[in-house]
Amino acid sequence: MSIITAVETFDIRFPTSRDLDGSDAMNPDPDYSAAYLIIGTDAGDGHEGHGFVFTIGRGNEVEAAAIDALRPHILGKNAEELLADMGTTWKLLAHDSQLRWLGPEKGVMHMAIGAVINALWDLKAKRAGLPLWDLLAGLSPEEIVALVDFRYLSDALTPEEALEILRKAEPGRAERRARLLAEGYAGYTTTPGWLGYSDQKLTRLAKEAVADGFGQIKLKVGASLEDDLRRVRVAREAVGPNIKIAVDANQRWDVQDAIEWMGHLAPYDIAWIEEPTSPDDILGHAAIARGVAPIPVATGEHVHNRVMFKQLLQAQSLEVLQIDAARVGGVNENIAILLLAAKFGVRVCPHAGGVGLCEAVQHLSMFDFIAVSADKDGRMIEFVDHLHEHFITPVDVHDGCYWPPSAPGAGAEMHRNTLAAYSYPDGVEWSATSAADGSFELVPEFPLKEAAADA
Amino acid sequence: MSIITAVETFDIRFPTSRDLDGSDAMNPDPDYSAAYLIIGTDAGDGHEGHGFVFTIGRGNEVEAAAIDALRPHILGKNAEELLADMGTTWKLLAHDSQLRWLGPEKGVMHMAIGAVINALWDLKAKRAGLPLWDLLAGLSPEEIVALVDFRYLSDALTPEEALEILRKAEPGRAERRARLLAEGYAGYTTTPGWLGYSDQKLTRLAKEAVADGFGQIKLKVGASLEDDLRRVRVAREAVGPNIKIAVDANQRWDVQDAIEWMGHLAPYDIAWIEEPTSPDDILGHAAIARGVAPIPVATGEHVHNRVMFKQLLQAQSLEVLQIDAARVGGVNENIAILLLAAKFGVRVCPHAGGVGLCEAVQHLSMFDFIAVSADKDGRMIEFVDHLHEHFITPVDVHDGCYWPPSAPGAGAEMHRNTLAAYSYPDGVEWSATSAADGSFELVPEFPLKEAAADA
C-alpha cells in the first residue's frame, strides 16, 4: 500500500502571443498555458502522475487554485484504492457537493477535476507499464462501463447499451490493435491556418502539410468574409483538389450569420465548419447544421460535459464530434462521450494543439478504435506542430499519422526544466521580459485581428 | 473624474452546515458563503461598490481568485467611464479573450464577472442616490438595450424586438411604480422545506409561513419517494388547501425518474417542480415538461448564461424562469434574460436565499415589473429568512411580500464586522472552531441525507 504524499501545482505559460501562433477570430493573442499538477506517492517506484488544464494565459492561476481546492480529496489517501476504482474516484471529485456549486460540472472547477483524474490515470498507466491507450483497451467491457457516470445520460445511453457496444467490439480488438500499430491513426493539421498568418506563410505551410502526408488542413475563419474567401482560395491553390480543407470560426457567429457566411464558402468544398457559434447553443448548432448541409458541423473543444454532448447528438447538431483531453472531467468523462458518439454513430475527430493536447488526446482515439467504435474511417486527430519539445514523450506524427506511443503513462509529462523556465511569473522565460510585470493589452471590443502579421 | 483605487476581495463563510439549514437532495451540508468584493475610488464621496458570488463553502477561495483575476480590468481605471457605459464595461470583462477560455461564459470565471459587474452597479446606484431597481426603471428603452450583449441571441431576440418590448411598457411605468410601492412584490418561502428538517419542524414552519402571509411554500424532494409523499401530505395538512406547495429536486433525477416521481406527487396539487434534472439538460427539461404536464417545470438558479436560457425558452423546457442574482454575468446578463422571458411570455420567479440573494435579486424583479414585463401576476420572489442580519439594508419582507428598498445601491453590502468575523479561515467565527483546520467530511457517493435531523 502506498500513500499520496504530494500534489504539486504549477502555473506554466508560454509567450506564444509574440508570434501570433494560435490566433483566431476569438483568440487574437493567446499565451498557451497549462495549470499543471504532479501527484507523488511514497511507493518508492519513481512513478508520478502528471496532468494539466490547457488555458490561453490570464486566469491560469485561477485554474491552478481550483486544482489546489481538490487536494484534500487525494492527498494522504491510499493510492491503490483510488487507482483501483477510478469510477468511484471520479465521483468522489465530481460529486463534492460544495465544489459542485461552482459549476455544476463546467468551467474552471470541472476542468480542474479533469486534470486530477488525468494525472491519476497517468500514474496508473505508469505503474502498469503501459501507455494509457493500451491500458484502457485492455479493460473488460464491464470495467470500462464502471468508469462512466451515467447520471443524466440514461435517456440517451444506459449502462446496458454501453456494455452492448463494448461487447460487440471485443472480438476484433487484437486485430485492430495490430492495424493501429501498422497503420497509425490519421491526423490533420491546423498549422497553416492561423488567422494572424500572411497568405505567403499560409501557402508555404499548406504545401508543407501536403508534403508531410496530411489529408486535411484547417483554416481559421470568421473575422472578415473577404479575407476568408481569399484565404480559402489561396489554400486550395496550395494543396490542390485532393486535400480536404476544413474551416473553424471559433464561435464567432450567431445562427443566421453562420448560415450566410458558409453559403459564401460552400463552393470551395469545405470538409467541415467548426464551432460556428456558442458551444452552449445546442439548438443553434442544430439550426446551422440544417442550414449549411451538406457541409458537416463540427464542435466539442469547448463543450463542457457529457450532458451537453448528449444533447448535441440528440438534436443532430453535429456530424463531427471533437473531444478535448482537458475540457471535461478527464479520461472517465471522455469515455462516456466516446460511448455516446458510438451509440449515435457519429465520428470523433479530437481537438488538439495547445499545450500537450495532442500528447493527451491520441490515447483516447486509439482506445476508441480498438475497444469502442471499432472504426477509424474518416476520423482524424488534429495536429499542431508546436510546443511538443517540452514533453518527455512528444507525439510521433509522420506520414500524416499519429503513431501509437509506447512509453508508459498518459503522455502529459513535461520536462522539469520546462516547468522551471516557464513558471509564471517567476520563471526565467517570463522574468526576462516586460510581460512579467503583469501588464497586457486588453481587448475592449470583441477581438478581431483583421490584419495578418507575417512571421 | 475619479479613479478606482481599490478592489478588495474577501472569502466569507457562514457555518450553516451545523444546523442543516439549506440541506437538500444534492447539498446535504452547505456552508453558505460569499466571494465578496469592495470597489473603492478616490472620489472622496464615501461610496463603495459591493458585490459577491454566492457559494456553499469549499471552493469559495477559487471564486475569490477569479475576482482577483479581473482586477486589472478595473483597478486604476476611470470610474465615470466604466459606470457611464455599463454595456461596454460588461463586454470588457466578458470578452477578455484569455479569461473567456476558462468558461466560456460559465462557471467560476463568469460568476466572478457577475460579481464585479454587480459591484459596479452598486457604486453607480449609490452615486445616483437611488436603489438599483429605481435606477434601472428610470433608464430609457434605448439605454436598457445598450446594456445587453445580444451575441448568440439574435435567432430568438434582436435589439429591435427588445426595444419594442421596452417601449410598449414605457407608458405605464409611473403607475406600476406606484402600485409596487403600495402593494409590494409577492414572495414565497422555502424556510419550512429543507430536507434535513423533521416533520414537526416542517409543520411548525409551514404554519408560520401561512401566518406570515405567504401564498406559497416550497419543499425539497428527491432523496426518498416515501419521505417526499409523507412530507407533502404533512405540509398540505399544515397549510390547508389554499396555499400553493412547490417542490424542488435540486437536479437529483434523470429524465424518466423525474416523470415517474412526479407522477406519484401529482395528486397533491404541486405548484411547480423545480430543477428536476441537470441544469444543462435543455432537451431533458423539455421532455420532463411534456411528461409532468400540467405541473409546471421551473429552473434557472444554476443555468449559467443567456444562451442556455434562450434555448430553455425555445424548447419550451420551463414555465417558470428562475433568475439568480449571482450565477450569470450580473445585472446586464439578467436584463437580457428578463427580456428573453418577456419575449416568450414566461413568468419569472427568482431564486433567492443563500447569502444576500434575496437582497440582490428583488431589484431585478421590481425593475422587470415597472419597465420590462409590466406584469407581476403569478410571479413571486423566493424568500428564506436567514443571514439577513449581516446586511446593512436587509430585505423588508412582511405580509408575504417584498417591499421596495429605498436605500441607494444594489443591496449587497455586508456589515464590516461580519466581513471580519466570518472571513475564512482566520475570522473569529472560524478560528474558534475545529473547522478552521481545513478538515471536512467528504461525500464519497452521491449525497443523500435521508435521515432528518431536528433542530
- Tell me the per-residue pLDDT of B332-349, one tens digit each, with 9 for 90 and over: 999 999 999 999 999 999
pLDDT reported for residue A391:
98
Q: With CA atoms as reference, report the closest residue to B106 among A151, A281, A33, A335.
A: A281
pLDDT reported for residue A320:
98
Which residues of chain A neighbour B283 with C-beta distances below 8 Å? 282, 311, 314-315
Same domain, A433 and A352: no
- Tell me the per-residue pLDDT of A298-319, one tens digit each, with 9 for 90 and over: 999 999 999 999 999 999 999 9
> Are the beta carbons of B66 and A62 separated by less than 8 Å?
yes
Q: Calculate the CA dihedral of residues A309, A311, A316, A320 and round it to 10 degrees.
A: 0
- pLDDT mean over B119-139: 98
Among the listed residues A106, A126, A218, A220, the single catalytic one is A220
Q: Given 3-state DSSP classes, what are the helix, strand and coil percentages for chain B, each rounded to the nearest 5?
A: 45, 15, 40
- Tell me the per-residue pLDDT of B311-320, one tens digit each, with 9 for 90 and over: 999 999 999 9
| Last residue in a domain, options B360, B382, B403 | B403
Q: Per the domain annotation, does B444 fall within a domain? A: no
- Tell me the per-residue pLDDT of B181-226, one tens digit each, with 9 for 90 and over: 999 999 999 989 888 889 999 999 999 999 999 999 999 999 999 9
- pLDDT mean over B18-34: 80
Q: Per the structure block, which three cell numbers stand in for A430? A: 517570463
**Three-state SS annotation for B275-298:** CCCCCCCHHHHHHHHHHHCCCCEE
Q: Per the domain annotation, does A285 fall within a domain? A: yes
Yes or no: say if B15 and B430 are a contact pair by the CB < 8 Å rule.
yes
Q: Which of A81, A149, A278 to mutate to test the interface with B (most CBs of B within 10 A)?
A: A278
pLDDT reported for residue A195:
83
Provide the pLDDT confidence category of residue B26 given band limits of 50, 70 and 90.
confident
Same domain, B388 and B423: no
Q: Return d(Cα A252, Cα A27) in angstroms, integer.
A: 10
Same domain, B209 and B326: yes
The proportion of chain B whose per-residue pLDDT surpasses 70, expressed as a percent, equals: 94
pLDDT reported for residue A436:
39
- pLDDT mean over B249-272: 97
Q: Per the domain annotation, does A31 fall within a domain? A: yes
Q: Return d(Cα B203, Cα A278) in angstroms, integer.
A: 47
Same domain, A165 and A125: no
Same domain, B279 and B352: yes
Among the listed residues A124, A351, A363, A390, the single catalytic one is A351
pLDDT reported for residue A450:
30
Same domain, A165 and A245: yes
- Total domains in the fold of chain B: 2
- Tell me the per-residue pLDDT of B60-84, one tens digit each, with 9 for 90 and over: 999 999 999 999 999 999 999 999 9
Is the pLDDT higher at B235 or at A191? B235
- What string of DSSP letters covers A341-352? HHHHT-EE----
Catalytic residue set of B: 220, 351
Q: Per the domain annotation, does B159 fall within a domain? A: no
Yes or no: say if B348 and B377 are a contact pair by the CB < 8 Å rule.
no
**Does ipTM surpass 0.90 in this model?**
yes
Q: Return d(Cα B410, Cα B395) in angstroms, integer.
A: 11
Q: Per the domain annotation, does B143 fall within a domain? A: no
pLDDT reported for residue B451:
28
Which residues of chain B neighbour A59 with C-beta distances below 8 Å? 66, 69, 98-99, 101-102, 109
> Are the beta carbons of A155 and B256 separated by less than 8 Å?
yes
A143: DSSP letter: H
Same domain, B296 and B420: no
Q: Per the structure block, which three cell numbers stand in for B203? A: 409543520
CATH assignment at residue A94: 3.30.390.10
Q: Per the domain annotation, does A137 fall within a domain? A: no
CATH assignment at residue B392: 3.20.20.120
Q: Quick check: B443 pLDDT over 70? A: no
Provide the pLDDT confidence category of residue B19 given band limits of 50, 70 and 90.
confident
Q: Per the domain annotation, does B207 fall within a domain? A: yes
Q: Quick check: B436 pLDDT over 70? A: no
pLDDT reported for residue A18:
79
Q: Per the structure block, which three cell numbers stand in for A334? A: 471522455
| Residues facing residue A11 across a β-bridge | A35
Q: Per the structure block, which three cell numbers stand in for A440? A: 497586457
Q: Per the domain annotation, does B364 fall within a domain? A: yes
Q: How far is B177 from chain A (nearest CA, A)?
A: 36
Same domain, B281 and B320: yes
Ranges under pLDDT 70 in chain A = 20-22, 433-455
The proportion of chain B whose per-residue pLDDT surpasses 90, expressed as a percent, equals: 89
Rounded to an integer, what is the distance from CA A251 to the centroid of its chain?
Answer: 16
pLDDT reported for residue A335:
99
Yes or no: say if A234 and A202 are a contact pair by the CB < 8 Å rule.
yes
CA angle A203, A205, A206 (to 5 degrees): 65
Q: Return d(Cα B4, Cα A444) in angstroms, integer.
A: 18
Q: What domain range includes position B86?
A: 4-130+416-437
Q: How far is B176 from chain A (nearest CA, A)?
A: 36
pLDDT reported for residue B448:
30
Give the phi and the psi of residue B34 in degrees, each rounded to 5. Answer: -145, 125
Q: Per the structure block, which three cell numbers stand in for B276? A: 428536476
Same domain, B393 and B290: yes
Q: Quick check: B440 pLDDT over 70? A: no
Same domain, B113 and B23: yes
Same domain, A171 and A104: no
Give the phi and the psi of residue B383 in degrees, each rounded to 5. Answer: -135, 130
Same domain, A20 and A76: yes
CA angle B111, B114, B117 (to 5 degrees): 155
Closest Cβ opposite residue A65 in set B31, B61, B280: B61
pLDDT reported for residue B332:
98
Q: Tell me the CA distances in angstroms from A274 to A12, A269, A297, B34, one per residue in order.
A: 28, 14, 6, 38
Q: What is the CA radius of gyration of chain B?
A: 21
Q: Quick check: B366 pLDDT over 50? A: yes
Q: Return d(Cα B319, Cα B325) in angstroms, integer.
A: 19
pLDDT reported for residue B445:
33
| Residues facing residue B320 across a β-bridge | B298, B347
Q: Which of A17, A52, A62 to mutate to test the interface with B (most CBs of B within 10 A)?
A: A62
